[in-house]
Amino acid sequence: MITVLAIGYDRKLFDEKSAERARMNACANVVGALHLIIFSRKSHGCVHVRDGNLFLYPTDSRSRLGMLSAAYRLGSRIIRAQRANRGAWVISAQDPFEAGLVGYLLRACYGIPLQVQEHGDFFGGLWWRNERMLNRVRFVFGKWLVRHADGVRAVSRRVVRHLAALHVPPERIATRAVTSELAAFRAPGPALQSHDLHVRYPDAEAVVLAVGRLVKEKNFALLIRAFGRVTLEHPTAHLVIVGSGPEEPRIVRLIRQCALSGRVSLVPWTDDIVSYMKSADIFAVSSYREGWGRVIVEAMAAGLPGVVTDVGCVGEVFMHDRHGIVVPVDDARALARALARLIADPALRRQYGEQSARDAVARASTEPAYARAWLGTFTCCVARHD
């Protein structure tokens, strides 16, 4: 029986009612034990949890550097205390950077095979690498680490191609997409009235919806500028952005500068995205990069046609001229043209949306099925290390 020691960032795991917690509980049920070290600060108030075979450990640190040293100490303590009583062990790092560094040091010290997860498609372009100097350092280390890890989990074919370009041996790459719980998005029935976008904006010719954290990589600034072009042709169309994050002040200023305060609405993040999706007309993604793009699959399940940049699962799940329109990354003119085309053509929207809903069925996954596939991603690590 495999014991997994994972290093990651997702503090939602400390919420026993979250979907993330349920997914990790399912994973813990297919292994001997799942020990998860989560980077966290003291101010987050996270506490150690044992839930069956699932063990959660916050680093409870005062600084970023403190998180790294605390994660290493926690990992060492867990391994020394538990290893004699278990069979095979695997270390899994959520990214090839800070988490990967901790995983690599533990691997070097204890001889346990290391899997690195590549969720973000960090090696697929220049934008993320050039965003700041720290990312350039991360890129160099991460490129070295994925070549030397015992295994790499990729979340999409796009990520696999980019790992292959780095000369990561194909036998070390295991592909497993991010799971999507789609039942609520596929369920029939109207949106909640409080979240019904056509109730909120009754004069809108069409409502365009975008969902995500307000961070630079989502490139909402591009979407806003593109929508400004759209309103010249469709003055009553409305864009709704649902999200929260550090870019919020900049986005609010940009909406005012573009004189779009009456046509673009910024709505705080909510865990109930379903009703927004059920009442929108078009879904938009403007990201520079996505490793997978779970929100794209969710929008498809809700029957929304999309206008999306060529990132993540686009080309693998979301297909151009089948589920909507794919546009180049960071091309405001192409994004505006695609949005205007769908706003003007309700029949085409309906065609794309119905096809999206049909095809999304194949992407639904139960937690036990996901857990079994997740366990399978460690096979090459253990085999290579034996």
- Mean local confidence (pLDDT), 85-100: 90
CA–CA gap between residue 305 and residue 321 (Å, rounded): 10
pLDDT category at 125 given cuts 50, 70, 90 is confident
Q: Does domain 183-363 have CATH number 3.30.390.30?
A: no
- Mean local confidence (pLDDT), 89-107: 97
* Residue 100 burial by Cβ neighbours in a 10 Å radius (0-12, 13-18, 19+): buried
Mean pLDDT computed over every residue of the chain: 93
- Mean local confidence (pLDDT), 16-44: 94
- Kind and range of the H or E run holding 354: helix 346-360
pLDDT digits (tens, 9 = 90+) for 325-340: 999 999 999 999 999 9
CA–CA gap between residue 346 and residue 330 (Å, rounded): 26
CA dihedral 190, 194, 197, 201 (to 10 degrees): 130
| pLDDT at site 384 | 63
Sorted by where each begins, the domain ranges of the chain are 3-179+365-385, 183-363
Tell which wins on pLDDT, 383 or 234: 234
Q: Which of 188, 100, 214 is nearest to 151 (CA)?
A: 100
| pLDDT at site 192 | 78
Tell me which CATH code domain 3-179+365-385 carries. Answer: 3.40.50.2000
Cα-to-chain-centroid distance, residue 111: 30
pLDDT digits (tens, 9 = 90+) for 291-329: 999 999 999 999 999 999 999 999 999 999 999 999 999
Whether the CB-CB separation of 13 and 38 falls below 8 Å is answered with yes
CA–CA gap between residue 219 and residue 246 (Å, rounded): 13
- Mean local confidence (pLDDT), 152-181: 93
What angle do the packed helices 294-301 and 346-360 form, to 10 degrees?
110
pTM over 0.95: no
Q: Are strands 49-51 and 54-58 parallel, antiparallel or unpaired?
A: antiparallel
Cα-to-chain-centroid distance, residue 308: 15
Half-sphere exposure of 78 (CA within 13 A, CB side): 27
Q: Do domains 3-179+365-385 and 183-363 have the same CATH topology?
A: yes
CA–CA gap between residue 377 and residue 324 (Å, rounded): 32
Q: With pLDDT > 70 as the criterion, what percentage of the chain qualifies?
A: 98
